[in-house]
Amino acid sequence: MHDLIIIGAGPAGLTAALYAGRFRMNTLIFEKMACGGQIILSPQIENYPGFPGGISTFELADKFKKQVEELAVTIEDSEVTEIGQGLESGKAVFNVKTQNGNFQAKSIIIASGAQAKKLGVKGEDKFIGRGISYCGTCDGPLFKNKDIAVIGGGDRALEDAIFLTSYAAKVYLIHRRAAFRGSKILEEKVRANPKIDLILDSVVEEISGRDKVEALKVKNLKANSSSEISCQGVFIFVGIEPNTAFLKNLLEMDEHEFIITDEEMRSSKDGIFACGDCRKKSLYQVVTACADGAIAANAVHKYLLNQ
Ligand code: NAP
């Protein structure tokens, strides 16, 4: 019986584990992919305090992990598929079903993060892994001296468009409006980069090719006219959706299935807490994910004291 099971080892889950470890809670973390979560999909992070000039996301993820391991918290590589609830001596107990068996805990922190949204255009499913990618760091090196398109106008699109210029011959940045949602400082870098061509007020209508991506059909919304762009790669960054499907309506969520919590990261169910990108909040950043994780572990500590 664990005091706490944390689901997800991104910045939120690992910070929760750091605090839980320091409270000497008997804690287990499950991670279905790599420690670090979504941050390792970007090459570098420039707005995490304490690292002037930025830090490599792999290095930051590794530092988060090492700090947790110093506290003897176990990180298991396994996917959680279901959470059930029972009672033991009149107290709530959670049954966590994973690919590697079932585990029990007195409390749960869900830090399962989010994943890239699909664009939802013709050709997208056909060319995933054959020219279409949702991760610049992972797939950028495959596009050396090629022409590529980046779709979106948020931080991810801006960051990755800049990063991808270190491989690609040309980067078309296609955004549906003229104003960017991402940070001004990134926009300035994008505009100053001679390898980036901005295609604004425009949407992708179709991704085409024979076996691999060869072209995009792009519609200019102002001129109401379509044209074709020749490119070999398409990187899609049009927002995130939470990894909460495994919860199967266990908790209250918003219309996009982000978990609703209070300020203490308490979910609608006693003993279950949620933090980071899987919960509904106003700012999805590494620094806020870490803050959420610390608050969640502190709230679990109080919850267990009152049990
Ligand atoms: P985002 O900030 O939600 O931006 C999504 C972009 O895609 C927006 O510009 C949006 O256009 C566009 N878009 C959405 N649906 C579209 C569609 N169907 N067709 C065409 N364009 C579409 O998402 P993100 O850049 O992927 O980043 C995800 C989250 O991670 C954000 O909350 C971001 O702040 C965060 N993030 C944090 C860090 C960090 O902590 N350092 C780094 C990167 C990202 P509109 O602008 O017109 O809506």
Mean pLDDT of successive 10-residue stretches along the chain, which has 307 residues: 97 98 97 91 89 94 96 94 92 94 97 96 94 91 96 96 97 98 97 98 98 97 97 97 94 97 97 98 96 98 95
Q: Are residues 214 and 244 in the same domain?
A: no
Q: Are residues 102 and 13 in the same domain?
A: yes
Sorted by sequence, the CB contacts under 8 Å of residue 249 that are 6+ apart come out as none
CA of 182 to the centre of ligand 1 (A): 7
Q: Are residues 112 and 140 in the same domain?
A: no
Ligand 1 pocket test: pick from 156, 218, 277, 280 the residue with the most ligand atoms within 8 Å of its Cβ.
156
pLDDT at residue 42 in the model: 82
Q: Are residues 88 and 150 in the same domain?
A: no
CATH of residue 201 = 3.50.50.60
Q: Are residues 207 and 275 in the same domain?
A: no
- Residue of the CA atom closest to atom 23 of ligand 1: 239
Number of domains in the chain: 2
pLDDT at residue 41 in the model: 84
Q: Are residues 71 and 130 in the same domain?
A: no
Ligand 1 pocket test: pick from 117, 155, 256 the residue with the most ligand atoms within 8 Å of its Cβ.
155
pLDDT at residue 307 in the model: 87
pLDDT at residue 137 in the model: 86
Ligand 1 pocket test: pick from 285, 286, 287 the residue with the most ligand atoms within 8 Å of its Cβ.
285
CA of 151 to the centre of ligand 1 (A): 10
Q: Are residues 11 and 94 in the same domain?
A: yes
Helix (H/G/I), strand (E/B), else coil: 44: strand
Q: Are residues 217 and 136 in the same domain?
A: yes
Starting at the edge strand found earlier in the chain, the sheet holding 233-236 runs: 132-133, 233-236, 147-151, 170-174, 196-199
Q: Are residues 36 and 171 in the same domain?
A: no
Ligand 1 cavity residues, CB under 6 Å: 42, 45, 47, 119, 152-157, 159, 176-177, 181, 203, 237-240, 284-286
Q: Are residues 81 and 129 in the same domain?
A: no
Write down which residue in 205, 220, 236 finishes a domain. Answer: 236
CA of 67 to the centre of ligand 1 (A): 30
pTM for the complete prediction? 0.90
Q: Are residues 130 and 262 in the same domain?
A: no
Cβ pair 234, 268 in contact under 8 A: no
Q: Are residues 134 and 74 in the same domain?
A: no
Residue-range definition of the domain harbouring residue 135: 124-236
Q: Please identify, by atom number, the ligand 1 atom nearest to the C-alpha of residue 286.
A: 40
